[in-house]
Amino acid sequence: MRNYEIMYIVRPDLEEAQTKETVERFNKILSDNGAEVVETDEKGKKRLAYEIDDYPEGYYVILQVKAEKPALDEFNRLSSINDNILRSMIVREDD
């Protein structure tokens, strides 16, 4: 398994409980597909460099994970169709 950093931005207008549920759901998606979530860092609401879907800010979440390609593909697929996720990005870290 390789080390990856996943950053995604959750809609800022969600209730706190909905935001937590979204973060837990996507951590579970990774875990269910064989990835190990090493660290979850919730940065909170931050101003965006430019508006995404008419939102000037977003709730940032950064994950450190050990994963294989199928887990990342499933994360990408589900995050792209989920209305609560504005953007996501996966970066492979040097081993």
Pairing of strands 2-10, 55-67: antiparallel
77 contact partners, CB below 8 Å, separation of at least 6: none
pLDDT of residue 94: 80
Q: Tell me the domain boundaries of the chain.
A: 2-92
Kindly indicate whether the domain formed by 2-92 is annotated with CATH number 3.40.47.10: no
Which pLDDT tens digit goes with each residue over 30-56? 999 999 999 999 999 999 999 999 999
Beta bridge partners of 65: 4, 37
The residue ranges of the chain whose pLDDT is under 50 are: none
pLDDT of residue 83: 92
Alpha carbons 33 and 13: distance in angstroms, whole number: 29
Is 44 in contact with 57 (CB distance < 8 Å)? Answer: no
DSSP 8-state assignment for residue 40: E
Distances in whole angstroms, Cα of residue 33 to Cα of each of 27, 45, 52, 62, 67: 10, 28, 29, 19, 9
For residue 72, give the 3-state DSSP assignment. Answer: helix
